[in-house]
């Protein structure tokens, strides 16, 4: 499997998953079902995470086909611009979904403002994700074109969306135009990582048996700081990738790092979506965490240290992944 295969596989999950999430969310609002609402929020958060490798693999897919006969560079640029816009909407939707899940835990249901924001953003996101799929299909399926001119195939809604889509080359130039801006982004990325590991790492160590005098519920209040740090890292990481796509795309360390982040998402799901969290949350000072919680905590620490280490090794493994 090369990056083109990976891109084709992942983009179907991201698009269809987002549609399913919206469907569940709408049904939950009509039926006033909090469980379905929570399920919709979980799916949005999961699709936001999965959309990252989907987007990153697009550059490899582009490299695999751009020199083939009949492939239009204009259609590729249109697809990439649509993907950038859809990705940021998807990530914002996922971030607000996590806020809603946190509110559900603290107050039994998300705030009305959060529900409205997620609903509106998810409607836009589904439309934009569908457009990404359509523009991607246009690249290799000329039989669906009404005209050889990409602009003529847009339609009214497509033309409106296209007006807000960034030009990929211009965004890339903007990200690397100033060395101080790049240094600022990297500094923010590091700060976000410190926020994550500082908050989550402390909680993990407590579950592993360190500092037992501290109640876990109090330490868990630091998790929003970790979520804020992750939001910073996603934003700066995506901008850095857009600025130097070839630097990251063909680097094996980068892809192992992304895989580790996906595993961290599964690890978090294993913690919060099972009885493990309910048991751990009510532990008082001196109490020992159950074995499942310790396994999750140890996995979290190992994976976050892997993310940090692999981030440092990216520059040493350029051109170690084939796009074809």
Total domains in the chain come to: 2
**Residues 17 and 43: beta-carbon distance below 8 Å:** yes
| Average pLDDT, integer, range 276-293 | 87
pLDDT for 146 equals 58
Question: pTM to 2 decimals?
Answer: 0.88
Looking at the structure, do residues 155 and 197 belong to the same domain, yes or no? Answer: no
Query: Which tops the pLDDT comparison, 125 or 61?
Result: 125
- Rounded CA separation 262/264 (Å): 5
pLDDT for 89 equals 95
Query: Which tops the pLDDT comparison, 308 or 316?
Result: 308
| Average pLDDT, integer, range 273-295 | 87
pLDDT confidence tier of residue 74, bands split at 50, 70 and 90: confident
Looking at the structure, do residues 133 and 248 belong to the same domain, yes or no? Answer: no
What is the percent of the chain where pLDDT is above 90?
50
Looking at the structure, do residues 154 and 201 belong to the same domain, yes or no? Answer: no
Looking at the structure, do residues 37 and 92 belong to the same domain, yes or no? Answer: yes
| Average pLDDT, integer, range 4-25 | 90
| Average pLDDT, integer, range 209-235 | 90
131-141 pLDDT tens trace: 888 888 777 76
The angle at the Cα of 118, spanning 33 to 304, to the nearest 5 degrees, equals: 100
Looking at the structure, do residues 193 and 98 belong to the same domain, yes or no? Answer: no
**Does the structure show a pLDDT above 60 at 115?**
yes
Looking at the structure, do residues 125 and 231 belong to the same domain, yes or no? Answer: no
pLDDT confidence tier of residue 67, bands split at 50, 70 and 90: confident
- Rounded CA separation 90/19 (Å): 12
pLDDT for 168 equals 80
| Average pLDDT, integer, range 103-116 | 87
pLDDT for 156 equals 65
108: containing domain: 1-166
| Average pLDDT, integer, range 146-156 | 59
Rounded to the nearest 10 degrees, how much is the dihedral formed by the CA atoms of 233, 8, 315, 260? 50
**Does the structure show a pLDDT above 70 at 259?**
yes
Looking at the structure, do residues 134 and 249 belong to the same domain, yes or no? Answer: no
Looking at the structure, do residues 161 and 171 belong to the same domain, yes or no? Answer: no
Looking at the structure, do residues 13 and 160 belong to the same domain, yes or no? Answer: yes
Domain boundary among 120, 141, 166: 166
Q: What is the mean pLDDT of the chain?
A: 87
């Amino acid at each position: 499997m090369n990056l083109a295969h990976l891109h084709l596989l992942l983009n179907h999950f991201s698009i269809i998953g987002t549609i399913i999430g919206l469907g569940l969310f709408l049904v939950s609002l009509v039926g006033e079902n909090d469980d379905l609402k929570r399920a919709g929020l979980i799916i949005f958060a999961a699709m936001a995470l999965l959309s990252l490798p989907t987007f990153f693999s697009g550059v490899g897919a582009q490299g695999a086909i751009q020199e083939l006969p009949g492939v239009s560079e204009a259609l590729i640029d249109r697809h990439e611009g649509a993907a950038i816009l859809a990705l940021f909407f998807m990530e914002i939707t996922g971030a607000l979904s996590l806020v809603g899940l946190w509110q559900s835990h603290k107050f039994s249901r998300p705030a009305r403002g959060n529900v409205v924001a997620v609903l509106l953003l998810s409607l836009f996101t589904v439309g934009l994700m569908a457009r990404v799929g359509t523009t991607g299909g246009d690249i290799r399926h000329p039989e669906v074109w009404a005209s050889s001119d990409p602009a003529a195939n847009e339609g009214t809604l497509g033309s409106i969306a296209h007006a807000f889509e960034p030009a990929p080359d211009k965004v890339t130039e903007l990200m690397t135009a100033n060395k101080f801006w790049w240094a600022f982004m990297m500094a923010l990325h590091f700060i976000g990582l410190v926020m994550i590991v500082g908050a989550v790492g402390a909680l993990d160590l407590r579950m592993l048996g360190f500092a037992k005098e501290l109640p876990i519920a109090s330490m868990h209040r630091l998790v929003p700081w970790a979520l804020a740090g992750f939001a910073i890292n996603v934003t700066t990481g995506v901008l850095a990738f857009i600025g130097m796509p070839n630097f990251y795309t063909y680097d094996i360390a980068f892809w192992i790092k992304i895989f580790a982040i996906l595993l961290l998402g599964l690890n978090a799901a294993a913690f919060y979506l099972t009885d493990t969290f309910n048991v751990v949350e009510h532990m008082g000072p001196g109490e020992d965490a159950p074995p499942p919680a310790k396994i999750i905590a140890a996995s979290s620490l190992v994976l976050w240290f892997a993310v940090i280490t692999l981030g440092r090794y990216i520059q040493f493994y350029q051109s170690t992944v084939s796009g074809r």
